[in-house]
Every structure is written in structure tokens, then in C-alpha cells.
Structure 1
Amino acid sequence: MPVRICCVFGTWQLLSLVASLRQSIADESSPPQQEHEDYLVLYETAGVSEHFKTDLAKLASTVWTWKRIIWAYDLLTSERKYGQLQIFRIHHQIRATIGLEVSSADEIWACFVNRPSEKILLDSYPRAKIVLYEDGLTSYLPFEVSTMARPPGTRLRKRITGAFIAGLSAISPALRLRKMADKIERRHLKRVRLFYSLLSEIPVPYALADVPRSQVGASLMRDLIDEVSRDALSGDNGDCRASTNPRILLLGQALSRNGIMSYAQEAAIYRHIAEQIVERGYDIVWKEHPRIRAPFFPELLDAVGNMTSDPSTRITEANLPHTYPIELIVSRMNIVCCVSGTSAALLYLKWLYGIKAYTFAETLIPLMTGADILMSDMVRTHAMPFSALQSSNGTQAGIC
């Protein structure tokens, strides 16, 4: 029975993985479908709460049949400065923790092949093929491919030195981990056999141009979401209350948690957006990002309270554990559109349910650099600017 190691670091990524696993079954028209033995590895490189870890493991146990669910938060990290003996010990520890020998894994399913955490796992099982599944907008960033060799055409000594370094790197994963930063190693890229994508309208990065791409069906993902919502939320009916005004879903992000800006800066942006939404005649349903450390809802409630005498009716929180993705209940929510900054959920809700998407990414750009600006550009291409949101006509929003 083929063995797959599946890597997950978030609740939405878990749904993306399982949808991709289901799509792989749907794609196998011939030969007949083959059973697999699946191991799930849970980790997160930027640090999450114990509550997040527990909720992720709990959700995982309901969505797929796993041979084992392994917590690897202390093993798969963003650390890259290891000695050679250290890295070999870590490889051994990973195999012992998962319970699979070096030649036992046939495939590794992951979102990335360029980060230290995934590279360590890939080098622990060097013979396994790699299948990529979508993380979100980060899956479409322009990854750089690197080798340890010097470019051709340089002086003889440099070429000899480059060849020596390339040869040394072949037997030294610790050296590769230090020197290649967040670039994709060609040895790993050659092992990638398929990429399962959700957002078909976004082109794959150049590094993956030669990797076959399989589109996960929207109906397949909706079916999965319906099943997970029914099984994992114990009949929770989402947020279907009637409201006097049309209701907008406002999604938070983890910008301060990720070091893009301070908590105060992020809170100020959300307060300003919430005030504008209320001024335009809408009620708000707020959803915290699954990975946040400090909630923003008290800030928003205070901001709306400065504008109206009934803030608890003008802004409410989504009836969902904040560690879970909003996609689990959004189809049962009574909303007219979704507003966020650079959240990929804007694109997913549009793809899955045709929900109108508005972005205030232009407000965030002055505080962003590098990859965050690129993701902002992606969102702005596929969502309307927040400034285009018209005022409500005040008609009652119907009951779900």
C-alpha cells in the first residue's frame, strides 16, 4: 500500500489538502482507485497557541482517515543554521517520530519546497516524490530556483570552486540549508510530480511552470466544507440572524503577528474600515484570523460604539471558533459581500460562492515590503477596491 506523508500548518491548509486528496481520487479514472496509508504531520514555523494546535488536530481527525497524526512543532521550524551532525540527527528524529524508515514514504504532500521546515522533511525522505497543494496566495509567489554552483563562463578557478561547492552540497544538507535561503533546490524540484491548485485564475510561478497542474473542483470543495461543517461544528448554524441593515463580512488578518506592522497600526486600520462600513449603512460580522495572538474585536466594538448607541447589533463576531476558517459557515451567513485587506479568503469566497469581494489593500501597501506587496497586487487584481463599496439603501437583510 503506497505511503503518503501529508504536511499541514493551518486549518484552511488542512481543507485544501483534503480537497486535493479527494481530487486525486476523482482524477484516477484508470487504473482503479488505489488505497493509501496516510500520515499527517502538523507544524507551524511562526509559533501558534496550544489552543490552535489542539483545534487543528481535532479538525484533522474528522476530515480524513489517517494512519497517524504527528505533532512536529519542535522539529519542523524555520531554523536553518545547523551543523552536519545536527541535521542528520534531526532527520533521524523526524523518521522516528513519524514512524517511517527512510525508504518507506512514497510521496510527501506539502505546500512548499523552498522553506527550511519543508526542506528538512524532504531530505529526511529523499526518495519520496513530492505533491504540492495550495496554501493560498503564497503558493503563487515567484519562487527562485538555486543551485550551489557558480554561473558558467567565469574564470577557471571560480568554476572549479563552484564545482567543489556543488559537490559538497550534494552530501551536505546542512550546507544547502544555510546557503540556499528560501530558494528552491533543483534536487527537490525534480521530485515534484503535481501541483493541486484552487485559484485557477492565478498563474503558477515560473519555477513550477513545468509541473503538471490539477484544478480542484469548486463543487468538490463545497461538498467537503458542508461535511466538515456538519461533523466538526456540531450543528452550529453559523450566523443566520436577521438584521435591520445589510450585513458585511469583515475579515481580519495576522499582519502584526507576522511582523508587518504593530498591533496598534493594524487595529487602527480595522477601526477605520469598520467605521466606514457602518457609515455606509451596513452591519458588520467580524472574523478574527485563525493565527492571531491578540483579538481585534474589542477595538472594533469600541470604534462602532463611538458612532452608534447600539454597537452590539451593528457589529458582531462570526459564530465560529476563531481558529477555524470562515469558509466553514459563510454559505449560511446572511451577508451581501466580504471586505478584507490581502486575505486569500476574498478570492476563495468569490470562487466558491460568488460572494462579492472588496479589498482595502491600498491602505496596507505603505507598510508592506517584498512578498506582501506582491500578494496585495494579486488581491487587487481579483477584488474591487473598498472605495467602490456603495452605501446601503437601508432595506432589511432577509433571514437565512
Structure 2
Amino acid sequence: MANAPVHFLAFNGPWQLIVACAAIRRRHGELEDASRWKLLLTGATRGSRLHQLLLRLCEAYFPGGEVLDLTALGDIRARDDLIAFVVARRLEAGEVWLAYPGTTIAGTLHLLFPQASFQVFEEGLHSYTQDFAMESDAPRGALARQILGPRVRRGDFEQLRRLSGFAYRKSLNALMKSAPPVDCFHGILTETVPPAVGQGVAVSAIPQALIREEIDRYARFAGAETPVYREPTILVLGDNLLWPLRLHYQEVLELTVELFRSMIDSGYQVVWKPHPRMPAFCSDYLVLKVASSRLIWEPQADLVPAEVAYGGSGLSGVASLMSSCLLYFPLLYDIPGYCLPAVEGFSILKPGLQEVRRICERNAEPWSALGTPLSHS
């Protein structure tokens, strides 16, 4: 007798898990049998506090479910481990949930489960760019998938991997990176930003109430305590732009120093939260250059997404170059988002990042609208 179909959830960090759980509840209601879920953890640094927290969250959120930890593995090793995991258990999939349909993990799951229903959930503003249009390129590899898929599902992957034929290697690698057909996109911002979904892809709006419940659940589990600011305070979120901007990144640092000083001179307290993948030397440089007790750097908040850590903190506003929080905070907490001025180097960004910036410019408040702080009663 064939095994009952299971569901797969692939995620790489806290915010993806929060959004995915809200989307799954929107589709399925409260989980009655969490043991049907197979969780694929692909992010964080292996052995870090965040990594350990995510593993505990998997156990708590999906009791009886099974976790395949693919953290910090390269594409080939992750692909091999995933196939071995599926073949050894003779799994069949009903649904596959993921944030990025164009990854090796997504392509491998489609090769293993061509009949599964693929559900994509919002990861941030990048989910709304044309670069993320969710147009399946699976038909291009239909013949190769038809030939290779059954062999892989029978456990013949080791034999395939040893094949010396260039055509086999090229076909296999292409399949692993081809985006599968997407059945539905689940988003928070669908009423604010039109989703760039492919033809035939359904769109499901995640209710704000569910997102807030998942935010609160994560905060309780992580032991996060929301600070309360008694004076006008701006949260500034760093972006992971060191590599995309390369030689122009010094301009970003200098602009940030100027903006910090300007906000402090205007009477604001500034809370600085760098992107989790932003190099530590950037924050060191900013704190050293500004040298003010009214600049607060809270690196401990890296374990907790900004949407969780600062939602009820009484902020006067949130500022960033292109963070999704510029749209999340106004929607979820009625806290305005301010789009920081661009630097000249933005012209070298990839089209997807440039589109994220344009979304921020269209939907967030311009930096010039910040003005001086109002007194807090």
C-alpha cells in the first residue's frame, strides 16, 4: 500500500516560518495532524543560536513532524540529502510550500513529486517583482524530467550522478533549478502591491489577524521582549547591499552617518538594526562615526525579526533604503515607513533589487516627510 501523502515546508529563517504558518492556517485551519509535515530548514548558520532556535520551533510548531536540516549545505549536497530522505521513506507529497520557486530545492521537489500542489508564500517585497514572476519553466525540461524522474524516485540517483555523459549532467542540473508550476501565491501585501504571478496562479490574501497571531506566537517562544520608547524614536533597518553595490557601498555608509546625525539633531532617538547578513564592521563603523548616546544598536535583536521585536514599541517611524518593513509596519502597526534617499550606485543593482526600491518609493513615505518629532504624551 502506498504511503499517505505528506506536505513539505521549506524555509530559511524566522520571518518565512511566521508567514508560512499563517498561510497554512489560512488554507488548512488549525493543524490536526502535524506529523504529516516534513520540514526542510535551509537557512541560518549551522550551530548558531538562531539555527538552534529554528530547530526547536520546528518541533514545537509541528509536533511529530520530521525535520531535514539542509543548513549551510551546497546545492549538490542539499539535493542529494533531500533525494535520499524522500527515497528512504518512500514518501509521496500532497503539497509543497516554499518562498522561492526557482531554487535547487524547489526543482528537486518537483522532480520527485511532479503531481504535487506547489504553494508559494510571500518572503518580502522581492516576491512582488517581475524577477519573481512565478512563470514555470518546467515544460522546457519535460522530456528530461520524464526520463530522469522515475530513476531518481527509485533511488537510482547515485548511478545518475556518476554518468559521464554531458547531456545527462546538463539535463539534471537544469531540472534541479527549473521553477515548478505554482498553484497559489499566499501574500500579506496583495492588496497594496499587485503580485507578479504567472498565468493561472491563484492569489490568497493572508489575513492580518493571522500574521499578528503568528508574530505573537514567535515572540512568546523566542522570549522576545518588545522595548517601549518614551521619546520620539526612529527604527533604521540596514539592507544587505554590501555585495550588490560593491565599490559604492561606502556611499551608503556615509549617507547613513549623515542621516543618523540629522535625525539626532532633529530630536529623534535612533535605533539601528542591521540586516542579519550585513557584515559586523558596517555597524562598528556607523556607531564609531556617529558617537552619540542617542544611537542605540541592538545586535541581540538578530534572533527576532524587526516585525516581531518592535511592533508595539511606540516608534515614531521606520526608515530604510528598501526593507519590506517600510510596508509591513504601516499595515500591521500603523507606524509610518520612510524611504531613505538613494545613492548613485543604485544604478548597478540587479533589476529585481531596483524594482524592490521602486516599490518602496511608490508605497512608503518620502524621507522629506519625516519632519521634526512631535512630543509624546
One fold, TM greater than 0.5?
A: yes
- Name the structure 2 match of 1:386: 367
Quote the offset at 1:177 in angstroms.
5.7
1:35 corresponds to = 33
Give the aligned partner of residue 161 of structure 2. none
Displacement of 1:10 in angstroms is 1.6
Equivalent residues of 1:238, 1:329 under 8 A apart:
yes
Q: Distance in 2 between matches of 1:367 and 1:90?
A: 31
Matched, 1:369 2:350: yes
User: Aligned to 2:297, which of 317, 322, 346?
Assistant: 317
Preserved CA contact (<8 Å) 1:91 1:121: no
Contact in 2 for aligned 1:2/1:35 (Cα 8 Å): no
Rounded to whole Å, the distance in 1 between the matches of 2:237 and 2:78 is: 38
Q: State percent identity of aligned pairs.
A: 23
Q: How many Å apart are 1:350 and its aligned residue?
A: 1.5
Decide which of 144, 147, 167 is 1:171's aligned counterpart.
147
Q: How many aligned positions are there?
A: 347
**Shift in Å, 1:343:** 0.7
Is it true that 1:140 corresponds to 2:128 in the alignment? yes
C-alpha distance in structure 2 between counterparts of 1:73 and 1:139, whole Å? 22
Does structure 1 residue 251 correspond to structure 2 residue 237?
yes
Structure 1 residues 168-214: Cα deviation after superposition (integer angstroms, max 9, x where no partner): 46435753564589663xxx21xx3322111112212142x422211
Displacement of 1:23 in angstroms is 1.3
Unaligned runs of 5+ in 2: 150-168
**Following superposition of structure 1 onto structure 2, how do residues 114-263 of structure 1 map, counting pairs within 5 Å?**
114-142=102-130, 143=133, 144-146=135-137, 167-168=143-144, 170-172=146-148, 174-176=169-171, 178-179=173-174, 184=179, 188-189=180-181, 192-200=182-190, 201-207=192-198, 209-233=199-223, 236-243=224-231, 246-256=232-242, 258-261=243-246
Q: TM-score, normalised by structure 2?
A: 0.80
Residue 54 of structure 1: aligned partner: 52
Alignment CA distance shift 1:378-1:271 (3 Å): same
The aligned counterpart of 1:301 is 287
Aligned counterpart, 1:82: none
Give the equivalent residue in structure 1 for 2:166.
Answer: none
Post-superposition Cα deviations, 1:142-193, rounded to whole Å, max 9, x if no partner, equal: 23543676xxxxxxxxxxxxxxx86346435753564589663xxx21xx33
CA distance in 1, matches of 2:221, 2:9: 22
Amino acid paired to 1:284:
V
Does the aligned pair in 2 maintain the 1:112–1:118 contact within 8 Å? Answer: yes
User: Does the 8 A contact of 1:290 with 1:324 survive in 2?
Assistant: no
Distance 2:139 2:364 in 1: 40
Aligned to 1:158: none
How far the C-alpha of 1:231 sits from its partner, in A, is 2.5
> Residue 289 of structure 1: CA displacement?
1.5
Distance in 1 (alpha carbons) for counterparts of 2:9 and 2:74: 13
Aligned amino acid, residue 350 of structure 2? T
The letter of the residue matching 2:200 is D
Q: Does the 8 A contact of 1:76 with 1:117 survive in 2?
A: no
Name the one with the larger helix percent. 2
What is the letter of the counterpart of residue 276 of structure 1?
S
Question: What is the rounded CA distance, in whole Å, between the counterparts of 1:177 and 1:275 in structure 2?
Answer: 53
Pairwise CA RMSD of aligned residues? 3.1
Aligned equivalents of 2:52, 2:252: Cα separation in 1: 27
Unaligned runs of 5+ in 1: 80-88, 150-164, 306-310
